[in-house]
Structure 1
Amino acid sequence: MKFNKTFLSVLGLFAGLSLYAQQEVNRPKLVVGIVVDQMRWDYLYRYQDRYSNGGFKRLLNEGFSSENTYIPYIPTVTAIGHSSIYTGSVPAIHGIAGNDFIIQATGQEMYCTQDDSVTGVGATSKAGKMSPKNLLVSTVTDQLRLATNFRSKVIGISLKDRGAILPAGHFANAAFWFDGESGNWISSSFYMKELPKWVQNFNNKKLAEKYLDTWNTLYPINTYVQSEKDGNPYRQNYKGLDKMQFPYNLNNLKKENGLGLIRSTPFGNSLTKDIAIEAIDNEKLGQNEKGITDFLAVSFSSTDYVGHQFSPNTIEAEDTYLRLDKDLETLFNHLDQKVGKGEYLVFLTADHGGAHNPKYFQDKKGNAGYFPTGDVKKSLNEKLVAKFKVDNLIRSFANYQIHLNYQTIEQNNLNVDEVKTEIVNFMQKVEGVSFVADMDKIDSTPIPAIIKERMVNGYNRKRSGAITYVLEPQWYGGKQNSGGTTHGTWGSYDSHIPFVLMGWGIKHGANNNRVFMTDIAPTISALLHIEEPNGNIGSPVTEVLQQK
């Protein structure tokens, strides 16, 4: 029997297509990276008996949890955390040395995502003048785009610009963040010329205004046994409110606080969940007909704002996590329906934790304290003036680092090493300071190895202060007896974070091996069979790499 050439060509084409389909890399349809801002690891379990089966419990019951995941640098702050999660790197390499940092060569103060060369999209204020240009290395999201010849779609979403931009990376299709002035979600010209129609429609719903009605507890207030009683003193007041206790009339408060108030309520997380679902639907994430993997990077920021406002061990903090649990359940259920259960990969982690309020700790008879940064800076400056007869030798105490005014030092022909020695000697005697080091001489400074390594990892010569100081446990910079909390130190409350994966290619389990935030990006890279980010220093968590 003879076959004509056309038939043979068609047969060969189908054979080639079949072979191509068989050789397609096995990847999930969608990766959803979730960062819960200021989520300590113990919050996975602190309220576990109150969580639903579909949120945090589902992650733990179906997924794999690395129970001892730590941040390997200081300071532990938001911009660095988001950068390190997605790059597998540290400030010494990726360059994001703080939420704000100083360009040491010029003394210029720089916000982490500041980019004066771009314009806002959806906003006329400087809130839109943002991009990832200050991030010096690639992200796992960048590597996914490269690996698929830019066919993958990557989108970042967060109330905070830095929480959306830094995870989405340099090659993202879009990043969206919340503008507290207008109540809208915005972007910048780095990504687009105008907001997509679906974002415009979402903004037109005015959901922020609708959410800002009343905040009462999700459950009867007497059931919040994991928290201090309502109205306790370990918190800061909302602007315009003297009595801090439930229920909060948010509708009245927004008149004085603006729509940005939603950030400091659990409803900021709900709003973030809402737009994340809109992005999944309208951008058709995980629904690429060619089987190309998409990536949605979501950061829930209200946990951080609430933490700073109220501190741990408060009903407000507990209620925020109980409501976030419901939001996660809604998000996971939507992913099940839209992408398919088992067809998407989720990982959840945090950019940092949060300390107990020092007064709370002291009242329970624990050792803790407030470091009066402004007073110490003033006293140190007086000491330096007496020694060198020159004022303003110090620019800042930002990020638990002392930044020198190199221009003044040079103009007055001072020896920079002598100035640093005088500062180190002074700081060693200040109450609350545990260790201090001239970063050029840290190898010879007697500091425990694990702390020394974190100091080195967090030091970027071009963007960090010349001297790093470490406070005693449960101390942080702040005014005496001030409410709320903060973060930034090496202590477990700031550096022990969750890392849980669920869905595609993940078997249920847990480990207690010491792993690091920098291991997250290479783990995701290994699961996706893509090159790790170009500044990565982490290693894949091998127990996770058990694909179907």
Structure 2
Amino acid sequence: MKAVVVLGFILLFFGVQTQAQNNEPLNSDKPKVVIGIIVENMRPDYIQRYWDKFQPNGFKKIYTQGAVCKNVKLTLHEQNYASGTATLFTGVHPSIHGIVSTSWYDRLKKKEIDSTEDDYYFTVGADTKSGAASPQNLLSTTLTDNLKILSGGKAKIFSAALNRESAIFAAGHAADGAYWFDIESGRMISSSFYISTFPDWVRLFNSENYADIYSHRTWTTLLPEIEYTESLRDDYLLERGYFGEFNTFPHSINKYISRTNNFRPFKTTPSANMMIKDFTLRLLENEEIGTDNITDFVTAVFSSMDYENGSFGPASLEMEDTYLYLDQYIGELIDAAEQKFGKDNVLFFLTANTSASYPVEYLKEEFHLTVDYFNVESAIALLTSYLNITYGEEKWIEHYSDLQLYLDHDIINKNDNVTLNELREVSSNFINQFTGVQVSMPAFQLEQGSSANGLFEPLYNTYHKNRSGDFIYTLKEGWQPGYKFKRANYTDQSRIPVVIWGKGIKAQTISTTHNAVDLVPTLAELISVPRPDKCQGKIIKEIVETK
């Protein structure tokens, strides 16, 4: 069980190939530790916007001492932290690694499944079901998997995150530990896939009751509110806020938790990022990280208000405050790592697994942009009526989500009046006619494959035959999916920050265009690890050639 079994499996099938690809001796100049800092829903322009208020040892240190890639895109059909993290760590798009979203419809099980759910495993660290998970749905090897393989299992690989998907896909299949926050228990937990015996240091950390203690402390601004000149006023009318009503400081998180009956609102606060920072520091102290000449890899994933990101938006005072606190936490993490391992022994990188969009109301009212909500339920209702009128009364649509639709193949196969591909094309063309839809494509066209750029590139990058719908579509810039009784956590923005700094990295600004899949081959080159076999990215030459 756990990662040892998976590692053995990977070694069996990939070991010979890895040896062939890496006949050269290990680079003696490689770092002892790689520390990845991932921020969910981070726009690159947050750095410029809040620059004057950042401390010297946080974001300012990263951006003045590192190699800053200014033009990096995460070109996915649907931006989400599951697909984004999997793409960052495999160097391939969802069309290959298979994580098309945080969840997708499973035709065999007749239900929507989470990208990481796995009932074969159980929670370690709490009496909940949140640890019934694994990376088994990730169909590609990660950079950290290859690091494990190359070192014969000796490299230590860990991740810590607020969200399960981010933790698991950053850790990969062969990690020593992946930890995430459990909203039911308020603890940092893991899965038996990774861990058979819960470490004492994690048990001790959980005994400090971070979530419970800090949820009872009111979220107040780090600086006096009058100094937040980069943001909208706190009582901005169009800012929805928590539960559509609480949009001003101070925020009584405990009151919000009483509404949800779990610790989910805690994840939206700076205190949750502080918890991840403190947990990562404990991990660096208690696990045998950086104790030999084999490179170890630790990833910490922070959040930009988590699921409430869209309720406040990039221009909110809450968002600015989140980043001012995060700046301090990242500074503490960097200082501690450099002090423990030595500046010349650590390689850092900062990036994001998603970006963030401005709220529709803000763009419409303040800047008169022609954006709106695409009413998914109304569109599906109209499509259903059209199909029933055209082909007869049947339940043609089996399932739909934000940007894709699954037809009922069994019903179609029994019907002599229409074929599957015909219904796919008809349905896709119908959705294509809605004002907010940018482009829609049926599955049979996507299955033919293409290297198309522009509007179609995200569709081809993301479509996976066994997991995606019968047609998938994108919305026009600024538009967002809307529902009557639920809220979609959605962004159409694809630009993300990428900064690498530390051992041997020259401070520079890189303006050439790059894709998120370029991170893996670049890091692989810097730590002398073979890139994953199917890697679609290219090395960022400006970084490795000046090392």
TM-score (norm: length of structure 1): 0.90
Q: Contact between 1:64 and 1:510, CA under 8 Å: does it hold in 2?
A: yes
Query: Within 1, Cα distance between the matches of 2:59 and 2:277?
Result: 15
Q: Which amino acid aligns with 1:530?
A: V
- Of the structure 1 ranges 451-460 and 437-446, higher mean CA displacement relative to structure 2 is found in 437-446
Q: Contact between 1:231 and 1:245, CA under 8 Å: does it hold in 2?
A: yes
Query: Within 2, Cα distance between the matches of 1:142 and 1:526?
Result: 15
Query: What are the superposed Cα offsets for residues 102-122 of structure 1, whole Å, 9 maximum, x if unpaired?
Result: 235664422111111111112
2:197 is equivalent to residue 194 of structure 1: yes
Query: Within 2, Cα distance between the matches of 1:80 and 1:252?
Result: 32
2:498 is equivalent to residue 495 of structure 1: no
* Map 1:141-540 → 2, pairs under 5 A: 141-212=144-215, 213-239=217-243, 242-257=245-260, 258-286=262-290, 288=291, 290-364=292-366, 365-413=368-416, 414-441=418-445, 449-479=453-483, 486-489=489-492, 494-540=493-539
Q: Which amino acid aligns with 2:421?
A: D
Q: Contact between 2:521 and 2:531, CA under 8 Å: does it hold in 1?
A: yes
Q: Contact between 1:356 and 1:485, CA under 8 Å: does it hold in 2?
A: no
Query: Within 1, Cα distance between the matches of 2:425 and 2:469?
Result: 14
Query: What are the superposed Cα offsets for residues 184-237 of structure 1, whole Å, 9 maximum, x if unpaired?
Result: 111111012231000000000011122221111111111112211112234444
Q: Which amino acid aligns with 1:330?
A: E
- Of the structure 1 ranges 296-305 and 220-229, higher mean CA displacement relative to structure 2 is found in 296-305
Q: Contact between 1:437 and 1:445, CA under 8 Å: does it hold in 2?
A: no
Query: Within 1, Cα distance between the matches of 2:118 and 2:486?
Result: 33
Query: What are the superposed Cα offsets for residues 430-471 of structure 1, whole Å, 9 maximum, x if unpaired?
Result: 121121211323599999832212210110011001212121
Instruction: Name the SS for the 1:176 alignment partner.
Output: strand
Query: Within 2, Cα distance between the matches of 1:52 and 1:484?
Result: 35
Q: Which amino acid aligns with 2:112?
A: E
Deviation of the 1:59 alpha carbon? 0.6
Instruction: Name the SS for the 2:512 alignment partner.
Output: strand
Deviation of the 1:126 alpha carbon? 2.0
1:69 — aligned with what? 72
Q: Contact between 2:481 and 2:488, CA under 8 Å: does it hold in 1?
A: no
1:29 — aligned with what? 32
Instruction: Name the SS for the 1:248 alignment partner.
Output: coil
Instruction: Name the SS for the 1:251 alignment partner.
Output: helix
Q: Which amino acid aligns with 1:517?
A: A
Query: Within 1, Cα distance between the matches of 2:322 and 2:129?
Result: 30
Query: Within 2, Cα distance between the matches of 1:24 and 1:427?
Result: 53
* Map 1:41-80 → 2, pairs under 5 A: 41-80=44-83
Deviation of the 1:386 alpha carbon? 1.3
Query: Within 2, Cα distance between the matches of 1:405 and 1:542?
Result: 48
C-alpha change, 1:395 and 1:48, in structure 2 (3 Å) is farther
Query: What are the superposed Cα offsets for residues 341-391 of structure 1, whole Å, 9 maximum, x if unpaired?
Result: 231011011111111101100002122111111111111111111111133
Query: Within 1, Cα distance between the matches of 2:155 and 2:65?
Result: 27
Deviation of the 1:408 alpha carbon? 2.4
Instruction: Name the SS for the 1:109 alignment partner.
Output: strand
Instruction: Name the SS for the 1:440 alignment partner.
Output: helix
Query: Within 2, Cα distance between the matches of 1:192 and 1:445?
Result: 39
Deviation of the 1:302 alpha carbon? 4.3
Q: Contact between 2:171 and 2:178, CA under 8 Å: does it hold in 1?
A: yes
Query: Within 2, Cα distance between the matches of 1:296 and 1:446?
Result: 35
Deviation of the 1:123 alpha carbon? 2.4
Aligned length: 519
Query: Within 2, Cα distance between the matches of 1:300 and 1:317?
Result: 13
Query: What are the superposed Cα offsets for residues 496-546 of structure 1, whole Å, 9 maximum, x if unpaired?
Result: 000001101211001110000000011100111111123311011011104
C-alpha change, 1:234 and 1:148, in structure 2 (3 Å) is farther
Query: Within 1, Cα distance between the matches of 2:240 and 2:328?
Result: 26
Instruction: Name the SS for the 1:215 alignment partner.
Output: coil
Deviation of the 1:137 alpha carbon? 0.7
Q: Contact between 2:219 and 2:253, CA under 8 Å: does it hold in 1?
A: yes
Q: Which amino acid aligns with 1:305?
A: Y
Q: Contact between 2:402 and 2:481, CA under 8 Å: does it hold in 1?
A: no
Deviation of the 1:97 alpha carbon? 0.9
Query: What are the superposed Cα offsets for residues 96-151 of structure 1, whole Å, 9 maximum, x if unpaired?
Result: 11100123566442211111111111223221101100000100011111111111
1:12 — aligned with what? none
Q: CA RMSD for the aligned pairs?
A: 2.3
Query: What are the superposed Cα offsets for residues 253-285 of structure 1, whole Å, 9 maximum, x if unpaired?
Result: 333333222101121111111101010000132
Query: Within 1, Cα distance between the matches of 2:155 and 2:450?
Result: 48
Q: Contact between 1:79 and 1:96, CA under 8 Å: does it hold in 2?
A: yes
2:105 is equivalent to residue 102 of structure 1: yes
1:17 — aligned with what? none
Q: Which amino acid aligns with 2:265?
A: L
Q: Contact between 1:306 and 1:317, CA under 8 Å: does it hold in 2?
A: no
Please tell me whether Structure 1 or Structure 2 has the larger radius of gyration of its CA atoms.
1
Q: Which amino acid aligns with 1:75?
A: E
C-alpha change, 1:466 and 1:126, in structure 2 (3 Å) is same
2:93 is equivalent to residue 90 of structure 1: yes
1:14 — aligned with what? none
Query: Within 2, Cα distance between the matches of 1:171 and 1:53?
Result: 36
Query: Within 2, Cα distance between the matches of 1:243 and 1:94?
Result: 39
Q: Contact between 2:399 and 2:407, CA under 8 Å: does it hold in 1?
A: yes
Q: Which amino acid aligns with 1:348?
A: L
Name stretches of at least 5 consecutive residues in structure 1 with no aligned partner.
1-21
Query: Within 2, Cα distance between the matches of 1:462 and 1:219?
Result: 50
Deviation of the 1:49 alpha carbon? 1.2
Deviation of the 1:547 alpha carbon? 6.2
Instruction: Name the SS for the 1:522 alignment partner.
Output: helix
Deviation of the 1:37 alpha carbon? 0.2
Query: Within 2, Cα distance between the matches of 1:180 and 1:234?
Result: 29
Query: Within 1, Cα distance between the matches of 2:446 and 2:191?
Result: 41
C-alpha change, 1:59 and 1:306, in structure 2 (3 Å) is farther
Identical residues among aligned pairs (%): 31
Q: Contact between 1:308 and 1:484, CA under 8 Å: does it hold in 2?
A: no
Q: Contact between 2:77 and 2:474, CA under 8 Å: does it hold in 1?
A: no
2:135 is equivalent to residue 136 of structure 1: no
1:120 — aligned with what? 123
Q: Contact between 1:41 and 1:496, CA under 8 Å: does it hold in 2?
A: yes
Deviation of the 1:25 alpha carbon? 2.9
Deviation of the 1:249 alpha carbon? 2.1
Deviation of the 1:42 alpha carbon? 1.1
Name stretches of at least 5 consecutive residues in structure 2 with no aligned partner.
1-24
Q: Contact between 2:240 and 2:246, CA under 8 Å: does it hold in 1?
A: no
Q: Contact between 1:231 and 1:243, CA under 8 Å: does it hold in 2?
A: no
